[in-house]
Amino acid sequence: MWGHEQGSTLFGNGHRTALLIIGVELTLTFYPIAESYFLVAGLILTLLLLWRLFPLSQQLSGGRRRILLALRVATIIVVLFVLLRPTLVYLTRTKQAASVVLLIDQSQSMSVPDEVGGKTRFDAVVETLQKNAAVLQKLAEDVQIHSYAFDGQLHALPLEKGLPKLPDAPRGNQTAIGAVLEDVIREVAGQRVIGVIMMSDGAQRAIYPRDTPPQPAAQRLRSLDQPLYTIRFGRARAGAEGRDIVLEDLFAPDRVFVKNELNIGTYLRAIGYANRTIEVQLFFETEPGKPEMVEKQRVTVETSDERIPVRFRYIPEATGERKVSIVVPPQPGEALITNNEQSTLVKVLAGGIKVLYVEGALRVEQRFLRKALDASPDIHVDYVRLDLRSREGRPADMDRRLQPGGYDVYFLGDVDATLFEGQELASLADAVSKGAGLLMLGGLQSFGAGGYAETPLAEVLPIRMNRFERQQPNEPVREDLHITGPVRMVPTPVGLKHFVMTLSPSPAENQRLWESIPPLDGANRWAGIKPGAIVLAEDDRGGPLLVAQFYGQGRVVAFAGDSTWRWCLHGFETAHKRFWRQLTLWLAKKEDTQQNPVWIHLAQRQIPLGERLFFEVGAGDPLGEAITDVTWQVEIVSPSGKRHPVAVRQQGKNWQGEFAETAEPGDYQLEVQASQNGQVLGQDKARFLVVKRDVEMDQPASDPGLLAALASASGGRSCAPEEFPEVLAELRQRLKEMEVPVATRVTLWDRWPVLLIFVGLTSLEWFLRKRWGLV
């Protein structure tokens, strides 16, 4: 087929003529000398003018004149051909090397027979591939197909005539979609992948460390321009399940302090129990090996397939490793009851200190103070801010928190007394008299300036206050109530020997540290201190800064400063941590408590039969600083009593290990001992459960929603099996769009035939003219 494309002007940059022959486009283009048709025309006109000035001889016959005229016209045409410089361009399209990834789910849930005609999901996959064998084979001629089966891992599959060689049955015990997609991205890194096809039921059922969420991997595929096409199999509510109650996972902290609140949660999935009430029970090991039902609740199921969050709260009364279980009794018509229970282990620690920190102003001090206490694993801080402008964020149970037994220690920051309601301050005074500790920090609305002179805390605090010290919020700062900085904190002789003020075991070093610590920005000015109060630190003018006293069974400290955070900015972070930890311990009457320097962290407290346990161990000082020069002895005791030595490897400041011999279900115990310079530094133990549970078949329903979400996130789409040919056609179209045009230029004017014709024409004319006697 011929086509023409004309330039915008008569003497533009060329006239092109295109011819398409069997996928090859031919284009003829003229490139006149000096890129000017005017110059070409001028040269031709010059030749014609010369011809006119030197005409052919009139002595020649008509026939000879016509021969010479034809030779001259032919010569001019050849000259014109050379001046126009015609070029032939061959335009072809070259296919680019590309790949397609084919992922086939071979986990056990693919054996559920919920496809049309009672076929299993895996059989439906095989049938879909066989129906499209010819198309796949044709695609394999143009691209490289990477075929994999997947379950918890990725398994390469050979291809035979375009079809992957599949296993005879799906037997994988996990479906790790997220981890598998990450594996695929690594496997085909550097290749041009035009698409990833996943044939699966879409339900992610994986355990650590293969339980990677799939959504980030799908987003990475989009950034790589590698769309994911998901071919969905199975039904969202599998027929093999019937009616079922499923407890999905169990959420509980790894450890909790004794007599502190333990929060436990799970998700209950109810299938086929619409408009029914289900009882959920909480069991706790009140004594080792003796689980007891400690709480229960009833949840109402409204639809035929519903996922309901369930939350429990329990306060353990004894220390040790305790088993926690959430159980649903078997329901009428339930097809499977092995998934009606979830269990884990929680370590209940002794000596934990609960601190309630109440602050009124958004200031820097509270952030650094909380960070210092958070470094101590045996101190837990609850932070509450009472805003003078709005009371919307005020906890509904504030009065309960301030009552005796609520917390071990209370911190009051820059919070005005009017922000407390009813009998809250009276409850706090009662809590201190019955053994709690109390600290009031300096601030514009602290002590007398904050209105505490006429509250129950006036009797509790170790300083004197009166009602005339009151400074209303937003009033100018009263110089008689506040000291402007810098204010150096100087320990008194009594203070240097006190537990709170001991920053170093060496008295000389302790003295040096206090002399080096940066000054405070300012402090509260007190009218005086009460008899029996102990001044632990003064300012550099002799005024009291840190004062302590006993009140009833409790301990109370008044600290006039509010800018110890500056210590951290000048390299005294360790001293800052030690000061606040020791002050908290003293208030809680636990200054003699020795913290176990050795700890264990388990990746999971419950693992399926045959899976690996991953754990981490470490050692640290009371301030949370890691101790790295230690050696470890690690053993795991199986339910039968057999002891298994386990090696650990150092990773940064801690050590990591893994244990694979979990073929026996039951209760295991991890025991560690750390030594430093040949001396035992400490020991610790941790229990974990190995359960005989089928991760795949306990919840075999498919999840088409996840498949659709992943496909959309990657730029692909989710399809039914009958749409598989459309996916293959779309991939072929993507391949065609990636073809690269390649142009080959062939110049016609500078070839030897053109020169031969020109020489031949001029030579022939010269020969004839000479023969005819014209020269």
List, as one string, the DSSP characters of 644-693: EE---EEETTEEEEEE----S-EEEEEEEEEEETTEEEEEEEEEEEEE--
Cα separation, 236 vs 201, in Å, equals 9
550-605 residue pLDDT tens: 999 999 999 999 999 999 999 999 999 999 999 999 999 987 665 678 889 888 88
Range 447-453, long-range pairs (CB < 8 A, 24+ positions) = 447/524, 447/526, 447/558, 448/481, 448/526, 448/527, 449/478, 449/481, 449/482, 449/524, 450/414, 450/415, 450/416, 450/417, 451/416, 451/417, 451/418, 452/417
Q: Measuring CA to CA, how many Å separate 692 from each of 106, 584, 667?
A: 21, 45, 12
Mean pLDDT of 49-62: 72
DSSP state of 96: P
Instruction: Pick the closest to residue 624 from 580, 570, 658, 673 (CA basis).
Output: 580
Q: What is the mean pLDDT of residues 244-272?
A: 86
pLDDT digits (tens, 9 = 90+) for 645-662: 999 999 988 999 999 999
The sign of the torsion formed by the CA atoms of 431, 435, 441, 447 equals positive
Residue 735 DSSP SS3:
helix
Q: What single DSSP character describes residue 722?
A: G
Q: Which is nearest to 617 in space by CA: 595, 641, 597?
A: 597
Higher-pLDDT residue of 14, 165 = 165
Q: What are phi and psi of 191, to 5 degrees?
A: -95, 155
Q: How far apart are CA 248 and CA 266, in angstroms?
A: 6
Q: Is 528 left (phi over 0), alpha (psi -120 to 50) or beta?
A: left
- State the maximum Cα–Cα separation within the chain, in Å, rounded to a whole number: 150
Predicted pLDDT of residue 349: 79
Which residue, chain included where needed, has tokens 């310079």?
A: 677
The string over 700-736, giving b where at least 16 C-beta atoms fall within 10 Å of a residue's C-beta and e elsewhere, is bbbbbebbbbbbbbbbbbbbebebbeebbebbbebbe
Q: Does the N-terminal peptide bond of residue 456 adopt cis geometry, omega within 30 degrees of 0? A: no
Distance CA 200, CA 218 (A): 15
pLDDT the model gives residue 623:
56
Confidence of residue 606 (pLDDT cuts 50, 70, 90): confident
Q: Is the pLDDT of residue 136 over 80?
A: yes
User: Do residues 111 and 131 lie in contact, with contact meaning Cβ atoms separated by under 8 Å?
Assistant: no
For residue 410, give the DSSP letter: E
Q: Considering Cα of 449, then 451, then 453, then 457, what sign does the dihedral take?
A: negative
Amino acid at 700: P
Residue 194 to residue 237: CA distance in whole angstroms: 33
pLDDT of 622 reads 62
Extended strands (E) in 330-408: 341-349, 353-359, 379-385
Cα distance between residue 207 and residue 337, in whole Å: 21
Percent of the chain scoring above 70 in pLDDT: 94
Whole-structure pTM value: 0.49
Looking at 141-150, 182-191, 594-603, which range is the least confident one?
594-603
Residue in 251, 26, 232 with CA at minimum distance from that of residue 743 = 26
3-state SS of 119-157? CCHHHHHHHHHHHCHHHHHHHHHHCEEEEEEECCCEEEC
The DSSP code for 510 is: H
Does the pLDDT value for residue 524 go beyond 90? yes
| Top-confidence residue, 383 or 239 | 383
Question: Across all residues in the chain, what is the average pLDDT?
Answer: 88
CA distance 493 to 496: 5
Task: Name residues whose C-beta falls within 8 Å of residue 492's C-beta, 6 or more positions apart in sequence.
Answer: 535, 536, 537, 538
Encoded tokens for 353: 């200190």
Angle, helix 62-84 to helix 752-771, in steps of 10 degrees: 160
